[in-house]
């Protein structure tokens, strides 16, 4: 008997993930698509897709939900988010298996993602209670006398959240949780390869008390379903995380609508001459190969000071060669497959091209079974695709720098600018690099892959617009409204006096 089947009450998920798991279906009456595991092609579930007619109903419903949810008090929004965080923790192992199965993410990385998903919702529960605005000193400017001013934050309305495959839980959380904290309704379109985790999360939110229709999940192709969410006037904001070409398309299609874009990077890590090399190697291996390099802040370019280049490489190459490639559902796997065959072929092609252009394969490449191994390339040049573009695969390129100045110049030689890392024990160099690196975040004695979920996170240049990180996303997802209150004399109704003493105010 097939391990999956359409279930009257929802989607039955393969026993590979969990026994008897049935997930509520999306708002879709369209054809079922078969969801397959990237690692071995096993059938995981059959997912009904959202048709254009379904989407019309979803958008109408979202507007109704938004009109109600905006008046839900902060304490209740906070309680729903806190409850969701608890439910994610209680279901963490199941969520991790879903992430590993549909996203191909090694289970140990998927468990970290599940824990972080709970943390993102807990931060949103906190931030839902901290949306107070500022007091404005109105009389600091002539003409502002006898006025009190303050700002309030109001929900934008309906947030269209469009998410990528590589963090099926936590990147969805980074959109849904702050949007709800701010009082918005959400229509979520997860990546077509990873809808199950998002659907399970929607169930947990409902269980935590989220009113019907406040979060709706739609499933279908980005170019139709996603594009409609961007242009339809029933959505008030687009929060997008994904690839740079799609991000650019969304920015041009969205018109006057608020848009935040979290896009790609070819993250640089500088290893300076006085760095702790053991720490640098350990972190570069973790940051370069977690989720098989499919993280927007994966270490991609490592820029090493010439004085420590050989010592760094002697440590790095064996550490990368020792990584275990295997089934993501195996507890001991470090690196699994990429999300699909097309991506694997693309990355293999880029490695081959780099080698043809003069790069040296220090370790990795393609093994006897045709599998892509964790790869380190040396003798690369900046214009090779493996350096200049986002690899989004298990490939490190090592560049040599004369000194810190050249290392910073190489790092900044990029169309993108999300995060960068610097390993140095010299405080002044660290400070200098922090100011000179053209990115949204600089990590000192850490790789660019580092992130905790409450820190501001986002890129400059081609890496995007706006910031995530719950408190910062909440600002993007709410409108700032100014209230100016003119004081009137409560006895005469004119310009205020000290009414009780019947004297003018002030000198």
Candidates 30, 264, 287, 393; binder of ligand NAD (CB under 6 A) is: 264
Shortest spacing between CB 451 and ligand NAD, in angstroms: 9
Coil, strand, or helix at residue 160?
strand
- 273 is a contact residue toward ligand NAD (CB under 6 A): no
Among 24, 72, 192, 282, binds ligand NAD (CB under 6 A): 192
Binding mask 419-458 for ligand NAD (x = CB under 6 A): ----------------------------------------
Residue 40 in tokens: 């071995």
Q: Is 171 in the site for ligand NAD (CB under 6 A)?
A: yes
Per the residue annotation, which of 262, 273, 343, 476 is the catalytic one?
262
Shortest separation between residue 158's beta carbon and ligand NAD, angstroms: 15
Q: Please list every residue from 370 through 409 that binds ligand NAD, using CB under 6 A.
A: 390, 392
**DSSP for residue 138:** G
- Confirm or reject binding of residue 165 to ligand NAD (CB under 6 A): yes
Q: Is 460 in the site for ligand NAD (CB under 6 A)?
A: no
Structure tokens at 419: 């995060």
Catalytic position from the list 127, 296, 343, 390: 296
> Strand 301-305 and strand 395-401: pairing?
parallel
Tokens of 92: 């963490």
Cα three-residue angle 18-22-23, rounded to 5 degrees? 110
CA-to-CA distance for 397 and 303, rounded, in angstroms?
Answer: 9
Q: For 316, how many CA atoms within 13 A lie in the half-sphere containing its CB?
A: 31
CA distance 245 to 149: 42
Q: What is the DSSP letter of 380?
A: -
Dihedral sign for Cα 166, 352, 248, 341, please: negative
Q: 500 catalytic, yes or no?
A: no
Measured between alpha carbons, how far is residue 319 from residues 12, 45, 208 in Å?
A: 40, 37, 44
Nearest residue to 423 via CA among 283, 311, 301, 272? 272
**Of 124 and 162, which CB lies nearer to ligand NAD in the complex structure?**
162
Q: How far is CA 368 from CA 70, 326, 331, 373, in A?
A: 58, 15, 24, 10
Least Å distance, CB 439 to ligand NAD, is 12
Smallest distance, ligand NAD to C-beta of residue 192, A: 5
Quick check: helix, strand or coil at residue 503?
strand
| Binding residues among 233-262 for ligand NAD as defined by CB under 6 A | 241-243, 246, 249-250, 262
Tokens of 123: 């931060």
Cβ-contact 163, 192 below 8 angstroms: no
Evaluate whether 305 touches 403 at the Cβ level (below 8 Å): yes
CA distance 257 to 235: 8
Report which residue's Cβ sits closest to ligand NAD: 222
Instruction: Report, in Å, the least distance between residue 243 CB and ligand NAD.
Output: 3
Residue number with CB closer to ligand NAD (77 or 175): 175
Binding string, 123-162, against ligand NAD, x = CB under 6 A? ---------------------------------------x
Give the 3-state secondary structure of residue 398.
Answer: strand
- Tell the smallest beta-carbon distance from residue 378 to ligand NAD (Å): 24
177 interacts with ligand NAD by CB under 6 A? no
Residues belonging to the chain: 507
275-314 positions binding ligand NAD, by CB under 6 A: 296
Closest contact distance (angstroms) between CB of 222 and ligand NAD is 2
Distance CA 161, CA 222 (A): 12
Report the residue from 28, 164, 421, 466 that binds ligand NAD according to the rule CB under 6 A. Answer: 164
- The number of residues that bind ligand NAD (CB under 6 A) is 28
Span from 18-26, 51-59, 163-171, 326-334 in contact with ligand NAD (CB under 6 A)? 163-171
Which residue numbers are catalytic? 262, 296
Binding site for ligand NAD (CB under 6 A): 162-166, 171, 189, 191-192, 222-223, 226-227, 230, 241-243, 246, 249-250, 262-264, 296, 390, 392, 418, 464
């Amino acid at each position: 008997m097939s391990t999956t089947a359409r279930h009257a009450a929802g989607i039955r998920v393969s026993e590979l993930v969990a026994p008897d798991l049935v997930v509520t279906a999306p708002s879709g009456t369209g054809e079922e698509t078969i969801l397959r595991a990237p690692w071995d092609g096993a059938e995981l579930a059959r997912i009904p897709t959202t048709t254009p007619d379904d989407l019309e109903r979803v958008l109408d419903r979202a507007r109704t939900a938004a009109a109600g949810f905006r008046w839900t008090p902060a304490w209740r929004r906070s309680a729903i988010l806190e409850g969701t965080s608890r439910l994610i923790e209680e279901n963490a192992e199941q969520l991790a298996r879903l992430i590993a199965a549909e996203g191909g993410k090694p289970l140990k990385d998927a468990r970290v993602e599940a824990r972080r998903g709970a943390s993102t919702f807990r931060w949103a529960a906190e931030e839902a209670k901290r949306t107070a605005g500022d007091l404005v000193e109105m009389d600091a400017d002539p003409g502002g006398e006898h006025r009190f001013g303050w700002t309030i934050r109001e929900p934008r309305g309906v947030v269209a959240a469009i998410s990528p495959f590589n963090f099926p839980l936590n990147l969805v959380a980074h959109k849904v949780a702050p949007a709800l904290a701010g009082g918005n309704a959400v229509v979520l379109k997860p990546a077509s390869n990873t809808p199950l985790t998002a659907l399970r999360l929607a169930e947990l939110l409902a269980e935590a008390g989220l009113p019907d229709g406040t979060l709706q999940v739609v499933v279908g192709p980005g170019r139709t379903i996603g594009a409609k969410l961007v242009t339809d006037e029933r959505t008030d904001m687009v929060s997008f995380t994904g690839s740079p070409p799609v991000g650019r398309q969304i920015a041009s299609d969205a018109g006057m609508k608020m848009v935040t874009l979290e896009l790609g990077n070819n993250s640089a890590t500088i290893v300076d001459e006085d760095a702790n090399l053991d720490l640098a190697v350990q972190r570069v291996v973790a940051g370069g190969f977690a989720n098989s390099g499919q993280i927007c802040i994966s270490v991609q370019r490592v820029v090493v000071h010439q004085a420590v280049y050989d010592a760094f490489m002697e440590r790095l190459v064996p550490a990368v060669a020792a990584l275990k490639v295997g089934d993501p559902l195996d507890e001991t796997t470090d690196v699994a497959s990429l999300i699909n065959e097309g991506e694997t072929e693309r990355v293999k092609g880029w490695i081959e091209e780099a080698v043809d252009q003069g790069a040296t394969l220090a370790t990795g490449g393609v093994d006897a079974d045709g599998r892509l191994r964790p790869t380190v390339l040396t003798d690369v040049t900046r214009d090779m695709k493996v350096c200049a573009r986002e690899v989004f695969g298990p490939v490190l390129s090592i560049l040599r720098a004369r000194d810190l100045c050249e290392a910073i110049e190489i790092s900044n030689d990029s169309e993108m600018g999300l995060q960068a890392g610097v390993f140095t024990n010299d405080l002044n160099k660290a400070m200098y690099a922090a100011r000179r690196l053209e990115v949204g975040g600089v990590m000192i004695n850490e790789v660019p892959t580092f992130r905790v979920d409450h820190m501001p996170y986002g890129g400059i240049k081609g890496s995007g617009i706006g910031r995530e990180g719950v408190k910062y996303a909440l600002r993007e997802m709410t409108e700032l409204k100014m209230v100016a209150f003119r004081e009137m004399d409560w006895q005469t109704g004119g310009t205020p006096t000290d009414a009780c003493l019947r004297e003018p105010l002030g000198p």
